[in-house]
Structure 1
Amino acid sequence: MNVAQNLKTRLFAGAFLLLMGGSASARYAAIVIDADSGRIVHEVEATQRWYPASLTKVMTIYMTFAAIEAGRLQLHDTLSVSAHAARQPTSKLGLRQGQTISVENAIMAVTTRSANDAAVVLAERLGGSESQFAAMMTRQAQSMGMYNSAFQNASGLPDEGQISSARDLALLSAALIRDFPQYYRYFSATEFAYKGRVLPNTNKILKTYPDADGLKTGFTCGSGYNLIASARRGGRRLIGVLLGAHSSAERFRQMANLLDLGFEKSQLGAYGMPVAQLRDANFTPPPFQLSSNRCAGSAEQMGADSGSVRSEPILIKPGKSARLADKRTLKTKSPKSHAANEHWTVMLGDHSRKIDADVNLKQARYALGPAAKTGQPHVVRIKTKGALLWRTEWMNLNSTQARDFCKKLRARGRDCTLLPG
Structure 2
Amino acid sequence: MKESRYNIFFHMGKNILAYNARTNALAEISQEDYKVIQSIFKDPDSNSTNKLYQDLLYGGFLVEDNFDELAMIRHNMYASRFSTNTLKLTIAPTADCNFRCPYCYERDVLKDKQMTDDVENKIIQMIESNLKSIATLGVTWYGGEPLLERKRIESMSEKIIKLCNDYKVDYFAGIITNGYLLDPDTLLMLAKYNVRTIQITLDGVAKTHDQRRYLKNKGKTFDKIMKNLMDISMLYEEEREKLPNISIRINVDKNNKEDASELLNFITNSPISRFVAPYIAGVYDHKDIDNEYTLTTGEYNELRDRFIEECIDKGYRIDYNTFYPRYITSNCVCDRINSGVIDPEGNIYKCWEEMGEESVCVGQVGGNPISNLPKRYFDYMLFDPTLDEKCSQCIILPVCMGGGCPLRRSRDKVRNCDEQISEIKSSIIKSYKLMNQ
TM-score exceeds 0.5: no
Q: Which has the larger radius of gyration?
A: 2
Q: TM-score, normalised by structure 2?
A: 0.25
Q: TM-score, normalised by structure 1?
A: 0.26
